[in-house]
């Protein structure tokens, strides 16, 4: 599995899945969530409203993930995950790790070969960028290792961390270079 760092706009990535750092309502918001909703078009909001009407009447729980089509995005699917909000007292790193793990498991079930992640919870949700990067890399390597140990192949061949600012890319790069060599 390849892991790449990209500075840019996640809504423009030509990958199978982009991950949305959503809020539990799934009805759009600011930051990455708002940008994805705008780029995907009104069909995304309609699909999220349908999820709320049927499967998720109370919203998507923190750490969980759910998929919708990508509609007008280059990506085939959007996987929505709700990161923990440190400002609201959601400080358990296991919730943050769950966002990445559940998103990867869902991408695998969709047969996705490429997945682009933002820095879930590192923005207005107040998590330290370094902790997000460490958690994200750990989740991806643990996911890949689980397939290696079982002797199975994962459909997911490429994971991109698509980060809006050069500062965030630098943090992810520093964390990456401080750990094992990435392929």
- Domain presence at residue 60: yes
- Domain presence at residue 151: yes
- Is the sign of the CA dihedral 83, 71, 9, 156 positive or negative? positive
Catalytic residues: 33
- Domain presence at residue 64: yes
With 50 as the cut, is the pLDDT of residue 181 above it?
Answer: no
- Domain presence at residue 87: yes
CA distances from 24 to 52, 60, 66 (A): 10, 5, 11
pLDDT tens digits for range 56-87: 999 999 999 999 999 999 999 999 999 999 99
Of residues 123 and 120, more confidence is placed in 120
Nearest to 3 by CA among 143, 167, 129: 143
E strands within the chain?
A: 2-7, 17-22, 65-69, 77-82, 114-117, 158-163
CATH number of the domain where residue 55 is located: 3.40.220.10
Whole-number pLDDT of residue 33: 96
Confidence of residue 129 (pLDDT cuts 50, 70, 90): very high
Q: Output the average pLDDT for the chain.
A: 95
CA distance 83 to 97: 9
Sequential DSSP letters for 73-111: SSSSEEEEEE---GGGT---HHHHHHHHHHHHHHHHHHT
Contact 34, 164 (CB under 8 A): no
Looking at the 3D structure of the chain, how many domains does it have?
1
Cβ-based burial of 121 (10 A; exposed 0-12, middle 13-18, buried ≥19): buried
**Region of residue 63 (phi > 0: left; psi between -120 and 50: alpha; otherwise: beta):** left
The average pLDDT across 34-52 equals 98
Check: pTM over 0.75? Answer yes or no: yes
- CB hemisphere CA count around 136 (13 angstroms): 30
Please, which residues have CB within 8 angstroms of residue 50's CB and are 6 or more apart in sequence?
Answer: none
- Domain presence at residue 102: yes
Q: Which domain holds residue 79?
A: 2-178
- Domain presence at residue 62: yes
- Domain presence at residue 183: no
Confidence of residue 118 (pLDDT cuts 50, 70, 90): very high
- Domain presence at residue 68: yes
pLDDT tens digits for range 130-154: 999 999 999 999 999 999 888 888 9
The average pLDDT across 125-130 equals 96
């Amino acid at each position: 599995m390849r892991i790449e760092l990209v500075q840019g706009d996640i809504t423009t990535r030509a990958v199978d899945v982009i991950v949305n750092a959503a809020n539990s309502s799934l009805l759009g918001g600011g930051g990455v969530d708002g940008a994805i909703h705008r780029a995907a078009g009104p069909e995304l909001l309609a699909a999220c409203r349908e999820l709320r009407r049927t499967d998720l009447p109370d919203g998507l729980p923190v750490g969980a993930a759910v998929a919708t089509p990508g509609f007008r995005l280059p990506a085939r699917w959007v996987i929505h995950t709700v990161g923990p909000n440190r400002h609201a007292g959601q400080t358990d790193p296991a919730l943050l790790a769950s966002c990445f793990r559940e998103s990867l498991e869902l991408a695998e079930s969709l047969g996705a070969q490429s997945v682009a992640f933002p820095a879930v919870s590192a923005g207005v949700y107040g998590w330290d960028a370094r902790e997000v990067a460490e958690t994200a890399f750990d989740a991806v390597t643990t996911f890949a290792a689980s397939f290696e140990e079982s002797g199975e192949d994962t459909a997911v061949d490429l994971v991109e961390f698509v980060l809006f600012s050069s500062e965030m890319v630098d943090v992810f790069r520093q964390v990456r270079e401080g750990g094992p060599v990435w392929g």
